[in-house]
Amino acid sequence: MLRSRFLILLIVVCLVLACAQKRQTNSPKILVSPKGLVHSFWTTVRAGADSAGREVGAEIIWKGPALETDISGQISILEDYINKDIDAIVLAACDAQALIRTVQKAVDKEIPVITIDSGVDSDLPLSFIATDNVAAAAKAAQTLAELMGETGKVACIPFVPGAATSNMREQGFVEKIKQYPDIELTSIQYSQSEVAIGMAVTEDILTAHPDITGIFAANEGGTIGVVQALKSKNLAGKIRLVGFDAAENEVQALEAGIIDALIVQDPFKMGYLGVKSAMKALKGEPVEKRIDTGVYIVTRENLNSPEIKRLLQQ
């Protein structure tokens, strides 16, 4: 009799342990797919996603194309994980149109999709978590105009045509800069999110418009490309430059007086809230359709303020 009770107790304990182990191994799997892997912006997004994953007990799978122009590569990654029955997807889309069909495939399999930073032209995603890029670029235009004394010639360097983020930053800058009657927008060239291309198109702009007095570069790769071009032409500090993002080399160029201002997002918050929102969706909880993660104008004057230091140290 005693032996039978012992065996029953042993079986119960084993079942409890097995269930516990199953719960541990069955943590929700969330694919976080950035537009690219090259820039430090995405490293910070990943840190935010990983932090949220630890908090909510989710397994974060970080997988994206190496380059932001590799649209087909991102589609292949997403479709691979959709076929593997991933639990949820957090996506920064390489292209606002090309990714819609893939998002539809995920939704058809009841896989919740949250978009961050750069969305798709569709209501299919449950949420879009990002900077208000039109407003942020308008602030860039206003800042550049003020630096130029509201007169002169400017160029705009977005990154990838068709990427929602690039399109919105171009739109916001162009619409705002046109409000200054004594400023002429001379050129719009794309960096393809690559430093070398950003440098090359800047050199072309400087050759075609030697009297240019201001440049706006809409992301990290383009900004560093402009910095390198200005250095190569001995124009560092002579042409006003407003850039986007806050990679270490961008901050160094700001401190050195080559960049006059940086429009800085909160990429950690994007990754963090992306995963938290995905978990809410998996639990059947309501998810906010649009979350604005904010934007900051960083200059040499406020670089050492507590708020900016917190942002740059993420």
> Which of residues 181 and 20 earns the better pLDDT score?
181
220-261 residue pLDDT tens: 999 999 999 999 999 999 999 999 999 999 999 999 999 999
At residue 194, does pLDDT exceed 50? yes
- Please state the separation of Cα 162 from the chain's center in Å: 15
Least confident residue range of 110-119, 202-211, 283-292, 298-307 = 298-307
46-70: per-residue pLDDT in tens?
Answer: 999 999 999 999 999 999 999 999 9
Tokens encoding 32: 């976080």
Helical segments of 2-114, H only: 2-25, 40-56, 71-83, 100-108
- Asked if pLDDT for residue 14 goes beyond 70, the answer is no
Look at residue 18 and tell me whether its pLDDT is greater than 80.
Answer: no
User: Using one digit for the tens of pLDDT, what is the confidence trace for 102-125?
Assistant: 999 999 999 999 999 999 999 999
Q: What integer pLDDT is reported at residue 99 of this predicted model?
A: 97
Task: Return the residue matching tokens 């960096």.
Answer: 191
Phi-psi sector, 149: left (phi>0), alpha (psi -120 to 50), beta: left
Buried b (16+ CB within 10 A) or exposed e, 281-300: bbeeeebeeebebebbbbee
pLDDT tens-digit map of 132-156 = 999 999 999 999 999 999 999 999 9
Contact, 266 vs 130, CB < 8 A?
Answer: no
The rounded percent of the chain whose pLDDT value lies above 90 is 86
Q: Whole-number mean pLDDT of the chain?
A: 92
At residue 314 the predicted structure's pLDDT band, cuts being 50, 70 and 90, is low
Q: Which two tokens stand for residue 151?
A: 């007169």
N-terminal to C-terminal alpha carbon distance within the chain: 62
Among residues 299, 301, 295, 292, the alpha carbon closest in space to that of 138 is found at 295
pLDDT of amino acid 272: 97
289-303 average pLDDT score: 95
Domains (range + CATH), the chain: 28-131+266-294 (3.40.50.2300), 133-264 (3.40.50.2300)
The confidence score (pLDDT) of residue 12 equals: 41
Q: CA 190 to CA 202: how far, in whole Å?
A: 10
In the predicted structure, residue 7 carries a pLDDT above the cut 60 = no
Categorize the per-residue pLDDT at 200 as very low, low, confident or very high, splitting at 50, 70 and 90: very high
